[in-house]
Amino acid sequence: MSMPYNPALDGVRALSILAVVLFHCEVPGARGGFIGLDVFFVLSGYLITALLAAEHRHGGIEIGRFYARRALRLYPTLLLMVAVYVGLAPIFWPADDRWLSAVLAALYVYDYALAFWELAYTIGHTWSLGVEEKFYLLWPLVLPLLLRTRHPVRWLVSAFVAVTAWRYGSALSGPWSQAYFRFDTRMSGILLGAIAALTQIKVSKHLLAVACVALLVLMALPSLPTSHQTEAVTLRITLAELSAFVLICFAAEHGGATFLASRPMVYIGRLSYGIYLWHFPLVLLLRDTQPLWITLGVTLAFSFTMAAICLHLVDMPLKRWRQKAWPQARSIA
């Protein structure tokens, strides 16, 4: 089942990845940039739910094909990054248990590993991929059941409230890491994205302005992992998710939105997965010993270059092959 391409959603991806990179580089004014991941989670929930709901309406979800498309889209670049890490770890990160880290990343379980164990964090940023991968595994099985109910959106809203309350309880009763990293505490944003896909709410420009200001304020406020940790994994994440919900509803309705759909933003959005995978180990090498301008400049140059290589030499050839193999299937995410 094909879906129309929406360039503004790639623009949302671009904003998200830039926020995360600035946060990891410890750029002043971006100390709350971890909320870029919350925007990613809402966007993933929206895109995958929209795709699967369309398939459901036109004859049913082909679960095996969906899993295969996801694997071909996500695994090659991840495994390439993990292989490079394993090769370079003895030189740059000799204290790491590199094989354990590689297995945790490749199996998408770094989210629970970081929540409960003391581990090397060099490729620990793959925890967020673990959150999304569990959603990809479960959602094609759950969504058809949900769509058969009389009020699927009510169920989703109830689930969002329940997961949010569960994360708040975890944050107030234990270390912030257990509330922050786990799939069961972080799928609230994904559920909001699913709500956006099934409701198609129209957003006024005034509400959009409020959401954008909220995201900018959240990004500027110092937070994880240095301070305000309980507040960060409770109120700030919820506000970021709700603001992202508004932004994505607007982008979904206005696919040609001038700034979000501009060519530079769309291209950065297309690179966002690769940028996310490649930037973090380099940031760890640079940020404690180098000036900010070197850390940021080298990280941006390296991660954009590696992401472009992966996009044009790995992802796009695989996508062309996939479209020949499954001519009626086109993944939008």
CA neighbor of 106 nearest in space, from 88, 89, 123: 123
* The model's pTM: 0.93
Say what the alpha-carbon torsion angle 278, 93, 177, 228 is, to the nearest 10 degrees.
-80
Model confidence pLDDT, tens digit, residues 132-157: 999 999 999 999 999 998 899 999 99
Nearest to 252 by CA among 59, 12, 62: 12
* Cα 231 from Cα 64, distance rounded (Å): 40
Asked if residues 26 and 291 have their Cβ atoms less than 8 Å apart, the reply is no
Q: What is the DSSP letter of 312?
A: I
Distance CA 158, CA 198 (A): 15
pLDDT at res. 223? 73
How confident is the model at residue 80, as a pLDDT?
A: 95
Retrieve residue 324's tokens.
């020949």
Q: Is there a contact between 16 and 46 (Cβ–Cβ < 8 Å)?
A: no
Which DSSP symbol is given to 182?
A: -
Q: Give the model's pLDDT for residue 326.
A: 64
Instruction: With residue 299 as reference, give the H or E element that holds it.
Output: helix 292-310
Residue whose token pair is 């503004």? 8
44 three-class SS: helix
* Residue 43 CA to its chain's centroid (Å): 8
pLDDT at residue number 238 = 95
Residues in the chain where the model's pLDDT stays below 70: 1-3, 224-227, 323, 325-333
Using alpha carbons only, give the angle 109, 24, 126 rounded to the nearest 5 degrees: 15
Q: Nearest-CA neighbor of 281 among 94, 121, 150?
A: 121
The confidence score (pLDDT) of residue 246 equals 95
> pLDDT tens across 259-307, in order?
888 999 999 999 999 999 999 999 999 998 999 999 999 999 999 999 9
Please report the sign of the dihedral spanned by the C-alpha atoms of residue 224, residue 239, residue 189, residue 179.
positive
Strands in the chain per DSSP E: none
189/169 Cα distance (integer angstroms): 17
